[in-house]
Amino acid sequence: MTGNQASAGHLLRLIRTGAATTRGELQRATGLSRSTVGHRLDQLFGAGWLRAGAAGATGAAGASGGRPSARLEFDASHAVVLAADLETRHARAAVLDLAGTVLAEHAGPLLIDDGPDAVLDRLGEWFARLLTESGTAPAKVCGIGLSVPGPVDWESGQVVQPPIMPGWDRYPVAERMRRSFAEHTGGAALADADVPAEADALADADVPAEADVPVLVDNDANLMAYAEQRVGHPDCAAFLLVKVSTGIGAGVVVDGGLYRGIDGGAGDIGHIRLHDCQDALCMCGSYGCLAAVASGRALAGQLAAAGVPTASGSDVRDQLAAGQPDAVRLARDAGRRVGEVLVTVVTVLNPGVLMIAGELAGTPFLTGVRELLYQRAMPRTTAHLQVVTSELGDRAGLAGAGALVVEHLYAPDRADARLAAMGL
């Protein structure tokens, strides 16, 4: 690693990933001189991003009697991230440190079809209250991550043609979230264009100034997959998560990064058409979609028609927990339907892990998925496939939203631009 590849931002990445955590290891990994490594580290310490950890094992010098080298650590407490996971009928919000530790959290009813203004204004209230509860100043917030139940164009940060999010199509979510946060915390600079002078240093790199808190928006299945892969399956090079709740969607992580497709449409398997269900009307307006037959919303309708009081996917989950026979039967059938589609998806992607998550991710549904998958897919496709359920549960979306913000802000090029903006 030489030249631009050995900037302060690149050294930070080596430290954060554990690839090199002492000055000597950084020198060997980058080929930089001791003085240059020292200068780069001074930048990172000056920004408050690093701290000295406990002494590590002795290196080459230590083997001949030298003292153990001091380890370098990313200081996860120097800033916080705000994260929210929006469902159709409720939401969860939290203040997280940069390692993903929850400092304060709130979950409550919040209807996505009330529209973006109402929902984002309420989130601003929640965030302000959570900062107070955690004893954190608003100025310590370095970014906001939002998980939403619809397709997102990653480049623009806008929700695009969401079947279950009326009023959100192409809405400027990031700008409205910043304004709401500012209104509820008194931080006008967060919502306005009144950005500090050092923003000029960021203009060419397209990096927001520190006072202009970035708001990153992504699909819920994507963010759940991002978190679950990082936490439970970091060595899995191809990871697939399928969320089955009000709708059905998938998140794909390849070589540690999210695969979104060219405009955020990757993983939208809920709208694959089933040839024998042409009478099933989907929320998207089409007939025969997988989500119209096998989602939590679909099962709720089927149970209600059978005389079992059920209004939503969460009600279906409650019925399954109680062992209600019709719910168990329908969930297994729904799993088989999803399994039909996943035969093709798994054959194309060849993942090492297929994770089933969401409100229907219990034994009956999982059994149905496995039945079809192992019955229809070629043995080679499933020979090394693990079919599992969520490890992070209800907090997967929050964890993914928080991690996305941290990885965005501390990626090497962006970290270097931020250091330049601080005059370091």
For the stretch 172-220, pLDDT in tens is 999 999 999 999 998 643 433 333 333 333 333 343 333 478 999 999 9
Identify the pLDDT of residue 67: 59
Q: Side chain identity at 364, as an amino acid letter?
A: P
Identify the pLDDT of residue 207: 38
Domain 3-74 CATH class label = mainly alpha
Tell the burial category of 141 from Cβ atoms under 10 Å away from its Cβ (0-12, 13-18, 19+): buried
Report the CATH superfamily, name and number, of domain 233-391: ATPase, nucleotide binding domain (3.30.420.40)
Q: Do domains 80-221+398-421 and 233-391 have the same CATH topology?
A: yes
Identify the pLDDT of residue 74: 97
Residues making up the chain, counted from first to last: 424
Any idea where the domains of the chain sit in the sequence?
3-74, 80-221+398-421, 233-391
Identify the helix (H) or strand (E) that includes residue 296: helix 296-305
For the domain covering 80-221+398-421, report its CATH number: 3.30.420.40
Give me the residue label for tokens 């083997």: 63
CA distance 386 to 409: 32
CA distance 291 to 271: 6
**Structure-token pair, residue 12:** 């930070």
Mean pLDDT for the chain?
90
Give the residue ranges of DSSP H helices in 245-289: none
**Residue 135 backbone phi and psi in degrees, to 5:** 70, 35
| pLDDT < 70 regions, the chain | 1-5, 55-68, 187-211
